[in-house]
Amino acid sequence: MSVKQVKLPLTKEQIIQLHSGDRVELTGTLYTGRDAAHKRMIDELEEGKLLPFDIQDQTIYYVGPTPPKPGQVIGSAGPTTSGRMDKYAPKLIELGLKGMIGKGRRQPAVKDAIARHQAVYFAAVGGAAALIARSIKKAKVIAYEDLGPEAIYRLEVENFPAVVINDIYGSDLYEEGETKYRI
């Protein structure tokens, strides 16, 4: 199976070419955020404040990286369970977020927002945190430093490995897999 090279930030042209099950390598800028950062972003939006970065066409990686060892850009950087962001994701997708990276299933409201606003959900391999970290070339905290590993980082990545789970066509790789192998 071939691997699709995807340049970040995502474009509409790229998103329409992505289908559940596609293996991809992402290169460019992405942002990190877990539940504490997502809650704070939504709270700030409700207060009429701006988000800490321009979310238009961007990708958020659901990760709380460990501190880097000397000479490293970042510590282990494995995906966290995406479902914890599901109550916040539809609003961010509506505002222009185009990509999310994590692990695990998404709720129907998130999948509907993905299809309606033309976004994509990628899965990164859980348990491969040290390997994933190798694809991260730069890491800088840009917001919510007080949240420690849950702060928002801007990452520069090269050939970050992922798989498309949910696409704009309403497909879900997890559901497809269950159907295929159900006895």
- Is 38 in the active site? yes
Q: What is the residue-averaged pLDDT of the chain?
A: 93
Q: What is the pTM of this model?
A: 0.94
Q: Nearest 10 degrees: CA dihedral of 57, 59, 140, 84?
A: 130
- For residue 88, give both structure tokens: 């916040």
Give me the pLDDT at residue 63, please: 94
Summarize pLDDT for 117-153 with one digit per residue, the tens.
999 999 998 777 777 888 999 999 999 999 998 999 9
Give me the pLDDT at residue 183, please: 62
> Is the model's pLDDT at 40 over the cut of 80?
yes
Residue 10's Cβ-count burial label (10 Å; 0-12, 13-18, 19+) is buried
* 79 preceded by a cis bond (ω within 30 of 0): no
Summarize pLDDT for 88-101 with one digit per residue, the tens.
999 999 999 999 99
Give me the pLDDT at residue 128, please: 74
3-181: CATH class: alpha beta
Given 38, 98, 105, 106, the catalytic residue = 38
